[in-house]
Homo-oligomer: A and B are copies of this chain.
Amino acid sequence: MDTEMKNALRAIVGEENFTDSLIDLIAYAKDASEHSHRPDAALWPVTTEQVSAVMKLAAKARFPVIPRGAGTSLAGLTVPEQGGVILDLGRMDTIIDINIEDRLAVVQPGVVYADLDRALAPHGFFFPPDPASGSVSTLGGNVATNAGGIKGAKYGTTKDYVLALEVVLPDGRILHTGSKCMKSVSGYDLTRLFVGSEGTLGIVTEITFKINPKPPITSTAMATFETLEDAGRAISEIMYSGIIPSALEVVDQQTLVVINENTDLGLPEVEAMLVAETDGYTKEETEFQMEKITSIFEKNHATAVKHAETAEEAAALWAARKSAYGVMARINNNLIVEDLAVPMSRVPDMLRFISDLAETYHLRIPTVGHAGDGNLHPVVCFDGTDPDQVKRVEAASEALFEKVIEMGGTLTGEHGIGLAKIPYMKMEHDEVSMAVMRSVKKRFDPDNILNPGKMGLEA
């Protein structure tokens, strides 16, 4: 990128919102994945008009533009694979409106998830998706990846709450999609086309979310199972029981071992631990649901069932589940937090397969996941400086995703395709599906300037 072009970008966003210093470009070469590539410059636009002007320039000069939130992507969504300009939307961070009567919140894309949640709390409302990265990830990023979290089974994911968007298209036009009404079927659902499109179709500059009143009461319990089969039957029976837990998390044996090696939690190293949460308006109702769950745990030979009596006890039960990633990150050079989903009834089979896979390829692959919606996160631990380990990781990943598709699963439940899953796209999507996706990309971004090289959309 030449000086003239950089000066044109400076002129659009102002000197204070432009950088091409090496230290910044190195930072912007990475996200939370293993991928990396340096951009030519980075901008912090502060208005929709600036974003539009940047895109008009990019469309003319044909340089790549990569929109970015907090950079917490685990699949390389924000890595500037082909260079170009990073558009960091972190300075468009205003909560524009919270309107309880109309049940909506209007925000700029750079607002952090947790900041919106804090702003809603005094009204007794919340924005349910609750991604694990919520304390740092931005709502624009949440929209771009259709972020999910532990509450997915009961409350759905980001897509279920996006009512309307303002989007800058690759040619710089400003598009308004959807409606601020709770219900609208006026025209095509363009909103949903942008949600989860990983910044490849347009740049979201304003979001209108539906918000929910927050059930004030929760109940938490955990159970350990000697065998994956027992845990699997418990998960299935909970689905038949007529209730939907607000969370139902699974932790596998490898994870329990890793946690015990590195904390003093002293967990039983059984094949599976389940942590369940129910919520509601009254204590009686919340306990009614939890009693169903704990009796199903017991019926399926849980070796221990602990029901939290206080908020502190509940926090302690969650500690094991929530400590997993931190512990693993501390003791491994490299981690790939995988992401897949299978039909719920296949969760135990998939956990068994992953355990066998780890053995076959001599890898450590502890797994945690959202059993209530079939979304699992095997964490592949390895040393990236050892070419043999890297080769085994690649082979194991391919075997894993072959099995996922064979089980009727999907390549990604909540992290996205990005760069990480490109090699597997054709396993899940047939030729017609790939052709239609490419055709949509082509229609919106004919010169392939917006986050190019992602999602396997280049034939």
Contact = CB atoms under 8 A, between A and B. Distances in A.
Contact of A152 (B148, B182, B186, B413): B182
Nearest to A443: B443
Interface stretch (A37-45, A251-259, A341-349): A341-349
A446 to B, nearest CB: 11
30 contacts: A102-B239, A102-B344, A145-B185, A152-B182, A156-B160, A159-B192, A175-B432, A175-B433, A177-B433, A181-B341, A181-B343, A181-B373, A181-B375, A182-B341, A182-B375, A183-B374, A183-B375, A184-B341, A186-B417, A188-B437, A188-B440, A189-B193, A189-B197, A190-B436, A192-B193, A242-B281, A282-B282, A282-B288, A285-B285, A443-B443
Interface stretch (A8-16, A25-33, A296-304, A423-431): A423-431
Interface in A198-251: 201, 212-214, 216, 236, 239-244
A185 B184 CA distance: 23
Interface centre among A156, A175, A186, A190 (most CB of B within 10 A): A186
Contacts of A239: 100-103
Contact of A189 (B103, B195, B288): B195
Contact of A236 (B101, B148, B341, B370): B101
A305 to B, nearest CB: 21
B186 A428 contact: yes
A81 interface: no
B408 A180 contact: yes
Given A187-B417, A433-B177, A216 B242 contact: yes
Q: Can you tell how many copies of this chain the complex includes?
A: 2
A185 B412 CA distance: 6
A186 B345 contact: no
A386 interface: no
A262 interface: no
- The A contact surface, by secondary structure, is loop
Contacts of A186: 410-412, 417, 421, 425, 428-429
Contacts of A430: 176
Given A193-B192, A440-B188, A455-B187, A344 B182 contact: yes
A123 B183 CA distance: 29
Nearest to A425: B187
A341 B183 CA distance: 7
Contacts of A439: 443
Contacts of A123: 240
A414 interface: yes
A157 B441 CA distance: 28
Nearest to A278: B281
Give the residue among A156, A181, A190, A430 with the most B Cβ atoms within 10 A. A181
Interface of A: 99-104, 123-124, 145-146, 148, 152-153, 156-157, 159-160, 169, 173-177, 179-190, 192-193, 195-197, 201, 212-214, 216, 236, 239-244, 280-282, 284-285, 288-289, 341-345, 370, 373-375, 408-417, 421, 425, 428-430, 432-433, 436-437, 439-441, 443, 455
- Name the 5 nearest CB pairs between A and B, nearest first: A192-B192, A285-B285, A182-B373, A183-B413, A184-B410
Nearest to A159: B189
Nearest to A147: B185
A187 B424 CA distance: 11
Given A193-B193, A282-B284, 14 more contacts: A100-B239, A101-B240, A102-B343, A102-B374, A156-B160, A176-B432, A180-B343, A181-B413, A182-B374, A184-B413, A186-B417, A188-B197, A190-B433, A190-B436
B281 A282 contact: no
Contact of A146 (B104, B185, B411): B185
